[in-house]
Amino acid sequence: MNTLTPRQLLDKLVSFPTVSRVSNLDLVDWLEGYLASHGIAAHRSWNEDRTKAALFAHVGPWVEGAVVLSGHSDVVPVDGQDWTSDPWTVTERDGRLYGRGTCDMKGFDALAVWALVEAHSKGVKRPLQLALSYDEEVGCTGAPPMIAAMQGVVPKGEAVVVGEPSRMALITGHKGGTGFHVHVKGFEVHSSLLSYGVSAIMEGARLIQWVNDQNAAIQAPQPSAVAAMFDPPFTTMHVGMIEGGTAHNITAGDCRFAIEMRVVPDDDEAARIAAVETEAARLDASLKAKRPEAGVHLEKFFGVPALRPEVDGAAEALVRRLTGNNATGVVSYGTEAGQFQEAGYSAVVCGPGDIAQAHQVDEFIEVSEFQAGHAFMQRLVEHLG
């Protein structure tokens, strides 16, 4: 197979509609074959029903200390979005490359694949690895099993660059995140007999008010030095959707909503999670005392650890050297960088494109940003020697 340019790789990757709700295996099959055609062995980490797979590969000396380029293969849906052009075909106009995933984050993926093949062909002295996950867009659930699968199969890497769009700025910290699906089960009676029933909506509102009270308590103190780096400079808890009930004159039998939190790196995320679980258990016991059929059920649906700024971190030093930029930044959204860091890697975020374009109709990456990403990869391969 011919060696593809970064732009050709981007065209190919975008052509696979790897929305998180469907399989990504067509992309994985193609990429595994492309790497194999260049003499690079790739390894898969499967999901439970083997409908999706992460892909990772190693080039260069078979030693520890690799630079790891980390991306994800999945994209968000285009349903209900009125695109100007085909979202699964990269279209260039006005200095922009339009297509679903061009920014988040197949632009980086294409550049990482190019760098891997280039590093292999040049016979670099320091190893380079590619780590391409699945299901990042639904809670970063594919990266932890991929990272676990990498151990012992390829030598342990040292510095991880997660290529989420940052306009090639160095991001050394981000908030962690956890989400719970909440199901409050009530007991239906006519609303005129309210005291004999349990309104799931009215009882669920108690838990939502508790979230409001938590936010007020969290925001009251002076932010810590680490928290002050973020906007907003504190942990947040949020309920964004709620549904339930059957009629205005019947106590609601069910109420469903989700609680999500975004936790600054120096906050105690485990304690925040425990507090939600404790409050839900308290409400559950109260409802069961009224009607044994009633209660509260929590289901954790995502958990992403914070990325903590490192002291003398290898990944930060690497990106500084390649970009020549001494500035650092933090963001309030989560990435897989915290999961790599939790597994013992040094990690940062740095990638082409603007996060404001992520998930948008007519998503694009500026040609200049894509070129900046390519220049970064060229310097990386040269640095690996």
Residue from 32, 109, 135, 136 carrying the catalytic annotation: 136
Beta bridge pairs of residue 69: 130, 161
Whose CA is closest to 269, among 310, 217, 304? 304
Query: Which phi and psi (to 5°) does residue 219 adopt?
Result: -85, -10
Specify the 3-state DSSP secondary structure of 331. Answer: strand
Q: Count the neighbouring beta carbons within 10 Å of the beta carbon of residue 350.
A: 29
Tell me the C-alpha to C-alpha distance, in Å, between residue 116 and each of 27, 91, 122, 145, 163: 17, 25, 10, 22, 14
Tell me the C-alpha to C-alpha distance, in Å, between residue 84 and each of 3, 74, 88, 89, 360: 31, 22, 12, 11, 12
Angstrom distance (rounded) from CA 227 to CA 204: 30
R_g of the chain, CA atoms, integer Å: 23
Q: At 325, which amino acid appears?
A: N
Residue from 74, 109, 135, 158 carrying the catalytic annotation: 74
**Residue by residue, what is the 3-state secondary structure of 159-215?**
EEEECCCCCCCCEEEECEEEEEEEEEECECCEHHHHHHCECHHHHHHHHHHHHHHHH
Q: Is the torsion defined by CA of 340, 346, 349, 351 positive or negative? A: negative
Tell me the C-alpha to C-alpha distance, in Å, between residue 267 and each of 54, 236, 262, 273, 306: 31, 11, 10, 11, 10
- Give CA torsion, residues 332, 338, 339, 345, to 10 deg: 160
136 is catalytic: yes
312 is catalytic: no
Q: Which residues belong to the active site?
A: 74, 136
